[in-house]
Every structure is written in C-alpha cells, then in structure tokens.
Amino acid sequence: MAKLHIKKGDNVMVIAGNDKGRSGKVLEVIAEKNRAIVEGVNMIAKHTKPNADYPNGGIIKKEAPIHLSNLKVIDPSGNPTRVGRKLDEKTGKSVRYSKKSGEVIK
C-alpha cells in the first residue's frame, strides 16, 4: 500500500463537500478505506440505545469519516498545501514537505 499524505495529528482543511473551508485536527486515519476522521468536521447524528456510556440513549453528534482526496494538509505557515516527500540530508530518512513553501511538515 502506498504511503498516505495525511497522518494522525495533522491539521487539515476540507477542500470539497458540505464542510468545504473548515479545518481541524486528524483524529484517526482509516488507510484501508482511504478515509480520515477530522475533529469537528462532517458531523452526523447517531441514534443510540441506552448503554453503559449513554445510560439514557438518545441522539449523539459525532464525526464521520471523510475521504482523503477532500483534505489538504495545513503547513507550518498556516496555508493549505500539497505534500511531497524528500530525503532529509542529516538523517537520510524520508520527510514530508510543503510543496507551496518548501518547509518540512512535522
């Protein structure tokens, strides 16, 4: 499987869909389905029966997965950008960098 341009903990911006323009932190990446769960984005209302977590049951707002193609990483300068990979001269390891500014991402 190819490496993904988004990792858990990244700040991302939604570039398509109902939540276009909103940004948040990636809580989870589901690599098998090419989707990610982003904090506060793509909210759904889930109806639940009473259980240990929710003794009264009811309707719970939670984040639904969003496709990775609809997300762009926000680089350290605060702009949404495409992500590239290059070898770090010091360590020899592959690092992600911003295609817009050239800065290394985390």
Domain map (residue ranges) of the chain: 11-76
> What is the residue-averaged pLDDT of the chain?
94
pLDDT band at 3 (very low <50, low <70, confident <90, very high): confident
The DSSP bridge partners found for residue 85 are: 96
- Give per-residue pLDDT as tens, 33-56: 999 999 999 999 999 999 999 999
Q: How many residues are given for the chain?
A: 106
- The predicted model gives 92-98 an average pLDDT of 92
Does 1 score more than 80 pLDDT?
A: no
Return the CATH architecture of domain 11-76. Roll (2.30)
Distance of CA 38 to the CA centre of its chain: 5
The candidate with the shortest Cα–Cα distance to 106, out of 9, 30, 4, is 9
pLDDT band at 106 (very low <50, low <70, confident <90, very high): confident
Give the span between the Cα atoms of 98 and 106, in whole angstroms: 10
Give the span between the Cα atoms of 30 and 68, in whole angstroms: 9
